[in-house]
Structure formats: C-alpha cells, structure tokens
Structure 1
Amino acid sequence: MYQQILAPLFGSLGWSAVAAALPLLVLFALLGLVRMTAWKASLIALAVALAIAMFVYPMPVDQALLSATLGAAFGFFPILWIVINAIWIYQMTVTTGHFDVLQRSFSRISGDRRIQAMIIAFCFGALLEALAGFGTPVAITTVMLLALGISPMTSAVVALVANTAPVAYGALASPLVTLASVTELPLADLGAMTGRQTPLLALFVPMVLVGIIDGVRGVRETLPATLTCGITFAVAQFAASNYVSVPLTDIIAALLAAGATVLLMRVWTPRGAEPPTSEPAGSRAEVLRAYAPYLIIIAVFVVAQLGPIADLLDAVTLKFNWPGLDIRDAGGEALSLTEFKFNWLSGAGSLLLIAGLLTIPVIGISARAALGRYAATYRQLAWAIVTVMTVLAIAYVMNTSGQTATLGTWMAATGGLFAFLSPILGWLGVAVTGSDTSSNSLFGALQVTAAEQAGIDPMLAAAANGSGGVLGKMISPQNLAIAAGAVGMAGREGDLFRRVLPFSLGFLLLMCALIALQATPVLSWMTVM
C-alpha cells in the first residue's frame, strides 16, 4: 500500500510542485522545441514521471509500474477503442465512394469550403462530442475536413480548435456528472453555471476556425455566417443548460447552430465564394446512404441512453480494482482511480463498433472489404496507439503518486488570486489526461476546498475547472496523436502542438479573466441563479 505525500521534497510544497511538473515540462519541450515524434517524447516523459514517483515521493516500484499499466489499459479502452472504430467507419465510406457523395452534398449547402469546414468541425463536431466525447469528434471531423481539399495540417488544427466549447457537456454531460459526484454539488446548478462560461468561447470559435483556413480576409468575408453560428450555439447552450436539460445541452446547441447557418446560406453568399453547386450530389438513395453512417451513429447512441436499454447494456459491465494496486490519498482514503471499468458493451467505442456493423449492409460494402479496412485502421493508427497509451500511463503515474495533487494543492494556496487561476487547474488536468471528465475527477473537490478557503463561490470554482479544461484538450498529446494519425501525419505532433498552443493559451486567458470577474461585483450578476 502506498499513501500519497503532497510535499515530499524538503517538506516544501513549492519545491515538490517543481519536481511534479517535470514530466509535463519534458513532454511539451520535446514536442514543441525539440520536435521529437510524440511516441518517443511520451516514452521519455513516462520515464521521468516514474523516476519522480519512485525517487522523490517515494512510491514503491511495483505500485508505480502497476499505475503505468493501468493508465495504458485505460488509454486503449475506452479512448483508443472509440477512435479506432470511428476511423473505421469513415474508411468504409471512402472505400465505397459514399464519402465523395457526402462531400458533394456539403457543397450544395455552400460552395464556400470555409463555411463547409465550420459546419463540419464546429456543428457536426459538437454533435459527436455530445454523443460520444473523448477523441471521436477530432478523429471523424479531421478526415472530413481533409476530404474538402484542406491541407492535412490545417484540417487537424481546425478540428482540434473546434473541439472546445462543446467539451464541458460531452458524452451526455459526463464531465459534469463526474464533477457533481466528486464535489457533492447539484448537477443542475453545475450545468447552469458552466452554461454561463463556455458560451463565451462559442461566440469566437467559428471566426477563429475561418481565420485558420483563410486569414483575416476570410473572417471579414464570412462574418455574418460565423456570427450566426456562434451566437446561435452560445444562446442555445446557455438556454439548454439553464432551463432545459444538462445532458442534452450540446445536442440542442449543435443542431440549432447548424440549422441557423444552413438557413442563412439560402439567402446569403460570402463575398468571393463560389455559389452552391447545382450539380446533384447523387441520387436520393446515394445521398441517404452517404449520411446513413452518421445517422446510424446518432441513433445507436440515443437508443443506448434509453433507461431499460442502458441498464441492459450496463448489466455486463465489469468493474474491478487493478490487481496489486493499492493507493491511498494524503488523507488515507482509497483512490477511486485504481478501479478499472470495462464497459465492453455500453462504452462509446463499442457503440461505434455496433454502428459500424449496421453500416456495412447499408452502404453495400462486403464483409471482407470491411474487415480489410478495420485492419488498415490499426496500421494507420499504430504510432498514435503507442502515444495515447503512453500518455495515459504518464497521467496515471502522476495521479497515483501524488504529483498531480501536489500541483493542484500548490495552485490552490494562492488565496484571492485563485479565481483567476482556477481555470488553469482544469486546463492542466485535461492537458495531461485528454479528458474533461478525468480533470473534473482529479481537481473538482480540490477546487471547492480552495474556493471556500479563498472566500470564492465553490460553485463558480467547480464549474471553472470544467470550463478551463475544455481549452486543454487541443494540446493534449493523446488528441494531437489522434488528429495526426487520422490524416497521415504521425510523427509531426510537435508541429501540430506549436500550431494549436497559441489558440489554447489565448482562449484560456479569456476564460481566466471571465472567471476572475465573475468572482467580483463586476460580473457577479452572471452567477446568480
């Protein structure tokens, strides 16, 4: 058994935080400065995390190595299991030619690929985030953007940056459900508070996406569309989270934003854009089959959430403590992180596999060709698989040894400045784990405790953890690996990291300023429920 120590280095929380930060500093330095491939950088960072855990904290060798194996297992299931099956579905549509039909269908909405990219990356991506979460939106929208003729690097950057505002309510609000569980705050109130923070991001993200594709000129020429999309999503996200349903928030916002943008395109065309093509995308049956895989995905996920069916799927879920792993927090309580949940039937990846199997007869691909595409998907994502499993091993070593808790406790000791820093804590958690759910699990209770000590509304700080966390997703090594692998750029994760880092930091600064002002009379009216 290992019990965490928060200040193992000289009894100093500050020096211990410096040591705890080393694995992350090494990882991001190797990616961003040395330009090392992600799988090599992550393996080196894992060695550093293990060394810090064993020689600074000190964590028994067996407990440290077992933590790494648990993280690697979690990296494959459920995270990679989602991505692999999502990319497989896409690969099948490419093989049958239905993806070309889908692309032509998008061109009938608008001849402007900037608008097409915004609808795919932001609206459709938000819908996928609402239903599946984890890496699904990035995996699918990246390859869809590539099919529009956008370069691989730009496609990956756009998909990563777009996957921000919807993340707090992803996978039917799983991050908020987790946050409510660890903080013992009402889910409805947490969802409502988050809905007074993340919509601010939605106002700007569509404009930023167009800017990435076509610069300032593109932003200026498409402003009516980006404002329509962003404002509609923001208003819908606020209204749904506060007055309708927290789990359905992103589904409502994504559909309304896409619908509003499509309606605008019927009466307005961006300057310099080609008019919508009049060429048929294909016969009605072909178009329906092109959209069928994504309609099947939505249908499978919606049906899987229905009470009796959800219970039936969960009935075969296996939960067990990772063999040999026994970790206690600084207070002596057993860590829930040591439990492995193998929801092999109800997990998002398994539901995507079911959707893929249902797609096979619909799009008319042979079973042999479908199996061949499945094997090809594993080959395509080989290095991404190594990277994601290694990054999650790093996260679990840091979490179980106490390195993450040390960093969080050190930041929580900043007193009145904590309102400004609280989103950074969530950002850091997602940057490490790639999941807003995991970040809320790690830091949610800490945010509440620190807020109470600093005289800040605990509800505000707890929501800030998730709202800040959404901005760490685009720089998470596992998501960088997923995006790079999806467009055949494995090994260039460092280049991708440098491209998205300014957007992550810029949006994070905006969120920090918003939370800090919401903690003062200037914007405290936004937090009154």
Structure 2
Amino acid sequence: MTFTQDFTAVGDSLAWSAIVAIIPILYFFWALAIKKMKGYVAGVTTLLVSLALAVIAFKVPVGTALMSASQGAVYGLMPIGWIIVTSVFLYNITVKTGHFNIIRHSVLSITEDRRIQALLVAFSFGAFLEGAAGFGAPVAISAALLVGLGFNPLYAAGLCLIANTAPVAFGAIGVPITAMEGPTGISAIEISKMVGRQLPFLAVFIPFFLVFIMTGFKKAWEVMPAILVSGISFAVTQFLSSNFLGPELPDVLSALVSLVALAVFMKFWQPKTIYRFPSEQHVATDDVVSKENYSGAAIVKAWSPFIILTVFISLWGIPTIKSALTGHYEGTNFILKGVNAIGQALTFMPEVPLLHNQVINGTTGDPIAAVYKLELLGAAGTAILLATIVSKFIFNMPWREWGKTFLETINEIKYPLITICSVVAYAYVTNAAGMMTTLGLVLAKTGALFPFFSPVLGWIGVFITGSDTSSNVLFAKLQQVTAESVGMDPVLALAANSSGGVTGKMISPQSIAVAAAAVGLAGRESELLRFALKYSLVLLFFICIITFLQSNVLAWMIP
C-alpha cells in the first residue's frame, strides 16, 4: 500500500500542517527541559507522539509508520550506537589499565589551567575526531577525556557539544558538503568555498565562547592570547583548506594546526594565574600535577589508543578504502579487492517491509527507497573496536578483562542507547510522513527574509536527525529552489543550511544522549539540554546574521 506525502494534510492548510508537525519537537523540549524526564523516557514518548500524529494527522498507514520507526531504530544502533559503545569502551580500557593517569599528567604538563585544557581537548582534539569520524565519536571521546582530567561531567559534556559546532559541516571527511552535490547539481567545491567563508567567523569566536561560559569575561580575557592562537589558527586553516583543497580535509588540518600551535605557544607563554574550578581551589599545585616524571615512551604508550584510533578512523574515512570496507570497491588493487570481499560479506541492506518504495515523495513524485543499512565492517565503530583490540595487546590486557570491560560498558550506556534508538526512530517517522518538509516549506514562505531564515532550516534538520549530512540531503533541493525564487544565490543557501545545522548539533537528542552517556550522566539529559539550548540559539542567530549580510551587503564573499 503506497503513501504519498501530503504537506497540507491537516485541513488542506500548510500552516495547520506545520503546527501539527512541530508538536513532537515542542513535546521533546517540554519533556526534557521542563518536565525533566529521563532521556530514554522523553525519547520513547516523543516517538509515540510522532507516530500518533503521522497516522492520524498526516494519514500515514500504520504499518508504514511503524516500519519507518524500525528503520530509524536500526540506524540508531548501527552506526551511531556502535560508535558510542566502542568510544566509551576505548576510554574505559585506558582507565582500567591505569594509563589514563599518564594521559592526564601529559595534558597537565602543558598547562594546569582548566581554560587551556578545554581549548586543547574540547575544541582542537574534538575537531580532529569530527573531521576524521564524525557522528558521536568526537563528543564521546573528548568529553570522557575532560572528565578524566577532573572536569565536572555536565560541564565537560556541555563544553564539548558547544566546541563541536565549528567543525561539524566538514565532519567525516567532508561528507555533509559532498552529500549536497547529488540532489542539487552544484559542485561540492563551490559549496565548500561558501561554507569556508561562514564558519571561520564562528571558529574564531568559539574558543572565546567556551572559556567565557566556563569562567566569565574577566577570566576569559586573562587567556586571550591563547584563545586567539587557538581560534585564528583554526579559522585561517579552515578557510584556506575549504577554498583551495575542497571539503574533505578542513577539519583534520585545522584541528592539527590549532592543536600544535596552542601546545607550542604554551611553551613560551602561561597565564599569570592558573584557573581551577572552585571545588579544587584548595588543591596545591604539587598535588594537581603528579611529581612522578613519565618518560616520553610511557606517555606515547598511554596515548597510543587514541593515536591508533586516529589512524583507523582516518583510514575508514578515505573514500577508496571506505568503498572497499562496504563492498563497493571496483578497482584492481589486490589488497582492496580482498577487503572488498570481506566488506560485501559483512554488509547487509535488506529492504524494509511495507516501507521500501512505498512512500512517494510529495515534491518529486518519486518512490523513496528504504533499507536497513548494516555496514558492519565499514562502520566507524568497527574502526574504534579494532583500536581497542590493538590497545589490549599494547597494554598487555588479558582477554578476560577486556571482555569484562566491554560488557560493563554496554551495561553503563544501555539507557542512552534506548534514547538514541528512539529519537532516530522519531526522526525517520517524521521524514516519512513529510512533517519535516512541511516545516521547511513554511520557512520558505518568508520571501525577502529567507536569507535570514535559511540557516534555521538546517538547524531544525540537524535537531531532528542529529546529522548535518541528513539535514543537507533533506533540505538541499528546497534551499536551492527557494533561493532561486527569492533572488538569493543558491550556493549561499546551501552553505547556510550546513552552517545553520552545526548550531543545532549541540541540542540534537542524539548528541545529548551521546554526551550524557560518555560522562556518566544517563538520566540527566534534561540538565544538558538546558545548558546547551541558549548557546545553540545564540550561535544560530550569529549564522543567520552572517547569511543575511552575505546575501544583501557582502555579496562579494560568495564564490
């Protein structure tokens, strides 16, 4: 039984349909921020609300709605949930074997100042992981590292969510940008150039914003030299690489340059006063940094899980290798052909019953394919799992202890996994019903003000789907067509969708669940949402202003 999306399903009115479509979003905010439900309860009930509205208001067949939810739940487990499990597992291995103490010491040896540590770990290292892997790995790993260094779990998670805005558009080797080329026919390099003329402004601001949130203006001003080194080095590299190299490497290069620049700078400059959290003001300096002197080899060994992780996820992100890992390699390289055979055996893409080609796109009239995408070898989480196996041998960890730690990790994050699966399922239900496109069509009615509201589409898309890539695929064509109708450059509209989307990443239910799981805050997702929401709106407004100015006053910035 086919279902054709109807964007005016409620009373034959786009306005009424949009009001109904936004109810699940408002409910989720209410459930977490006001009612303070546990994350998995808010996620499951939001899914139920969206299913009811899809069936009753948007006339989606019950079977179609339920199977779209199942497709989302499977995607929530693989690859998203798999990344979270393996990321937290890798961190737990370093803690269990005692090597995290050495990691902590090595960071503190650069600086004991908590402000600089946040810049090094949350901003630079997190951006590197975003560029290499994307999904939930950057927030999960960097937040866990900050907690290990002594940060309050809520602050650690919140700061990493905010820091993860600047690199998201170029995450996972530029996939969010390249994903827009197919639906629109606009070259990915042109979109990359435009995004690279928006996000560097945000990248310069984010380091200051992080420290300001932590300490206030006065304490942030004390480390302004370090903030400027971190932000400017990142922004300049992001601009140059996005405009001259393409969308694949801006995050990786920017993060490395920023990380090295700040670490070197700290060898020649230190703040006049060392900032620590109020709860640790009584701790003497000699107590904060262990008097034990670790050798360079010991430090490298302690960091080796994350070095290996970086190597693996970087390899997994290379297009040719990625195609082999997922069974789609068509070249002649003997090794890659062997990997491709294994990838094919471990890739399962069965059609979703009652859903595959049963939903007709209300805009194009084409049937929408629906499969359970299970790329077991090609998933980023598998790359992280391999890093845990190599780390087990480096640390001489018994298999029994390794397995026990893995089971403990799963038990630790079982509720966040439920949250993730339910909110991704909710996203798939709203997409199948056409509820997301309905909201997009309302914003497209803003006419001359569309350049200002264009980033809001991306923000909504990422909030719902948890992915800048998904948001870009969902709204790219709508952005392009609407921009052309109101006299806005389509390249700017596509860039705005991606740039606006990055500001929604920090409050996406998936991101909130991932961050909470990584720092042991399962069940306290509402606190994290309240922490991040206001900052998300501030940064979104910042992108809206930039886009509006670039469309009307600073048009020379458009490539």
TM range (shorter): over 0.9
Match of 1:407 in 2: 439
CA distance in 1, matches of 2:316, 2:438: 39
Match of 2:222 in 1: 221
- After TM superposition, give the deviation of residue 488 of structure 1 in Å: 1.6
8 Å contact kept, 1:191–1:241: yes
CA distance in 1, matches of 2:162, 2:32: 18
Match of 1:525 in 2: 556
> Secondary structure at the residue paired with 1:437?
helix
Match of 1:356 in 2: 388
Match of 1:313 in 2: 325
CA distance in 1, matches of 2:218, 2:257: 27
Match of 2:297 in 1: 285
Q: Which moved more, 1:31-40 or 1:386-395?
A: 31-40
**Equivalent residue for 2:306, pick from 294, 298, 308:** 294
Match of 1:375 in 2: 407
- After TM superposition, give the deviation of residue 364 of structure 1 in Å: 2.1
Match of 2:524 in 1: 492
CA distance in 1, matches of 2:249, 2:99: 29
- After TM superposition, give the deviation of residue 305 of structure 1 in Å: 4.2
8 Å contact kept, 2:173–2:318: no
Match of 2:368 in 1: 335
> Secondary structure at the residue paired with 2:112?
coil
Match of 2:4 in 1: 3
Give 1:386's aligned amino acid: I
Give 1:8's aligned amino acid: A
Match of 1:451 in 2: 483
Match of 1:182 in 2: 183
Q: How does 1:219-258 map to 2 (within 5 A)?
A: 219-258=220-259
- After TM superposition, give the deviation of residue 300 of structure 1 in Å: 1.3
- After TM superposition, give the deviation of residue 44 of structure 1 in Å: 1.6
- After TM superposition, give the deviation of residue 285 of structure 1 in Å: 2.5
- After TM superposition, give the deviation of residue 308 of structure 1 in Å: 5.4
> Secondary structure at the residue paired with 2:272?
coil
CA distance in 2, matches of 1:40, 1:88: 25
Segments of 5+ residues of structure 1 without an aligned counterpart are none
- After TM superposition, give the deviation of residue 306 of structure 1 in Å: 4.7
Match of 1:422 in 2: 454
- After TM superposition, give the deviation of residue 126 of structure 1 in Å: 0.3
CA distance in 1, matches of 2:505, 2:220: 24
8 Å contact kept, 2:105–2:290: no
Match of 2:352 in 1: 322
1:227-247: per-residue Cα shift (whole Å, max 9, x none)? 110011011100000012320
> Secondary structure at the residue paired with 1:345?
coil
- After TM superposition, give the deviation of residue 278 of structure 1 in Å: 9.0
Segments of 5+ residues of structure 2 without an aligned counterpart are 276-284, 328-343
> Secondary structure at the residue paired with 1:103?
helix
CA distance in 2, matches of 1:186, 1:280: 54
| 1:36 equivalent in alignment to 2:49 | no
C-alpha spacing 1:140/1:306, structure 2 compared with 1 (3 Å): closer
Give 2:522's aligned amino acid: A
Q: Which moved more, 1:271-280 or 1:322-331?
A: 271-280
C-alpha spacing 1:461/1:309, structure 2 compared with 1 (3 Å): closer
8 Å contact kept, 1:101–1:281: no
Task: Name the % identity.
Answer: 40
Q: How does 1:19-418 map to 2 (within 5 A)?
A: 19-273=20-274, 279=291, 282-306=294-318, 309-315=321-327, 316=344, 317-325=347-355, 326-330=358-362, 331-336=364-369, 338-418=370-450
> Secondary structure at the residue paired with 2:373?
strand
CA distance in 2, matches of 1:310, 1:146: 32
8 Å contact kept, 1:174–1:437: yes
C-alpha spacing 1:45/1:154, structure 2 compared with 1 (3 Å): same
C-alpha spacing 1:209/1:126, structure 2 compared with 1 (3 Å): same
CA distance in 2, matches of 1:59, 1:305: 37
CA distance in 1, matches of 2:254, 2:190: 19
Q: Which moved more, 1:68-77 or 1:317-326?
A: 317-326
C-alpha spacing 1:306/1:216, structure 2 compared with 1 (3 Å): closer
8 Å contact kept, 1:146–1:487: yes
Match of 2:335 in 1: none
In the superposition, the TM-score normalised over structure 1's length comes to 0.97
**RMSD of aligned alpha carbons:** 1.5
CA distance in 2, matches of 1:470, 1:50: 27
